[in-house]
Amino acid sequence: MVENKMAYQPDYAVPPGWVLEEMLEAHEISHAEFARRCGRSAKLMSEIIAGKAPVEPKTAIQFGRVLGMDASVWLNLEANYRLHRAKEAEAARLEEATEWAEKFPFKALINFGVFEKPVNAAQLVGQLLSFFGVAGVDAWKRRYASAAVSYRHSPAFESSQEALTTWLRLGELAADQQDCPDYDRWKFLEALEKIRSLTVLRAEEFLPRMRKICNESGVAFVVIRPLPKTALSGAARWLTPRKALIQQSLRFRSNDHFWFTFFHEAAHIVLHSKKDVFVDEKAWDGTELEDEANTWAANFLVPKHDWEQFVSENPRSENTIRAFSEKQKIAPGVIVGMLQHRGILPWKTLNKLKDRYKWTEPQGQNR
C-alpha cells in the first residue's frame, strides 16, 4: 500500500499556451499570422495561449505542421497541464475532508506500514480513500457507513465506526492475498474437524496450517491486530457469494478466547445468511443468532453429551481438566475457559493452563 518513493511527481505543469507563445516570439510570428497559417480563428489562438481553451488533436497536428514540433508533444503538454489542474482542484477538495479523515486510526496504519506519514491533510485524505478503494468521501459513506447499519453486534458496541471499518478493510486486503476455490460447506465442516486438533499446538505451528486448511474449503482466514478504539474479538462475512472470511483480532491473546472466537465465527459461516456481516466484540451479545453460534461452537469443541457428563462431576482440579482435555484431544486452556464461562470455575482459577500469544511484528504473525 505504500506509494513508490522514487516516483517523480513535479508540483507544477507548463500550460501549452506558454510554450506556444515562446515559440511564436522566437519565430517572430504574430498571433494573428499564426492563426491564419493554422486556418483557425485568432480568438481560439488567444484562448489557447491564455490556457482557457485546450489543445485538441486536430489543433496539435496543425501546430506541428506550422512550428515543426510533433503533435504528440503538444498533446502531452496539454494532458499534463490538465491533469495538474485537476490534481490541484482535488487537493483543495480533499483538504475540506480533513475532519472526516482525522476520525480514523491513521497513526496505527502508518505504524503497520499500510501507508506513509502524510505531509499534509490532503495527502492523508487521499491515502485513506486509496486504502478503502473509493474515489471520494461520499463513495466511502455509501459503501461503508450505510453498510455499518447491517453489522450484527451488541447494542453496547464500543468500537468506533471508523476504526471498525478500517479493521475490516485490513481483513479484506489480507484475504485478497489468499487463493481459495469456491466455498464448499461440507469441505469446511471437514476442515473444522482438522482445525480442532490444532488447539494443542503453538501459534507459529497452527496458524499457517489453519489458514491453508480454511483456504482449501473456500474460506479466507486472517488475524489482524486490534486498532485503537476497537474492542473486537472477531468477524465473519462473505467477500463474494463463493468466498467467506473469518477475521480475528487476538485482542485477549489467550488460547481459550482465540479458539472459541474462531469456532463462533465459523458457526456464522456454516449456519447464517451470506448477506450479513457478523462483528463480535469482547462478549457476544445474546441475540438469537449469537446464542446459536455460541452453542454450535461449544458443542463442536466438546460434544454436548461428553461436556454434560464432565461438568456433572463439578471438575475443579488441574489433573481432572488435563485428563479430560487429553481425552478430547484439545488444549486444556480451552476447557478452563469454557468452565469459567459456565461459572463452574472462577475467572482467575487455573489460568496457568491457558496459552498466551503475543505479536512479534507490527502486522505479521502472532505467537
Beta strands of the chain (E only): which ranges? Answer: 151-152, 219-223, 232-240, 243-248, 277-281
Rounded Cα distance, 358 and 367, in Å: 5
| CATH 1.10.260.40 residue window(s) in the chain | 16-94
Report, as an integer, the average pLDDT of 32-45: 92
Class of domain 16-94: mainly alpha
Residue 283 has pLDDT above 70, yes or no: no
- Rounded mean pLDDT of the chain? 87
Residue 23 has which C-alpha cell? 515559440
More confident residue, 30 or 155: 30
Q: What pLDDT band is residue 151 in, cutting at 50, 70 and 90? A: low
Angle between helices 288-301 and 332-341 (to 10 degrees): 140
Which of 214-228, 259-273, 352-366 is least confident? 352-366
What is the bridge-based pairing of β-strands 243-248 and 232-240?
antiparallel
CA neighbor of 219 nearest in space, from 242, 193, 196: 242
Q: CA 246: distance to chain centroid? A: 13
Q: CA 173 to CA 112: how far, in whole Å?
A: 13
- Region 241-255: what's the mean pLDDT? 92
pLDDT in tens, 85-135: 888 887 778 888 899 999 999 999 999 899 899 988 888 999 999 999 999
Q: Which pLDDT belongs to residue 365?
A: 40
Please answer whether residues 251 and 282 qualify as being in contact, where contact means their C-beta atoms are separated by less than 8 angstroms. yes
- 212-240 mean pLDDT: 93
CA distances from residue 283 to 52, 233, 234, 247, 265 in whole angstroms, order as listed: 61, 8, 10, 16, 13
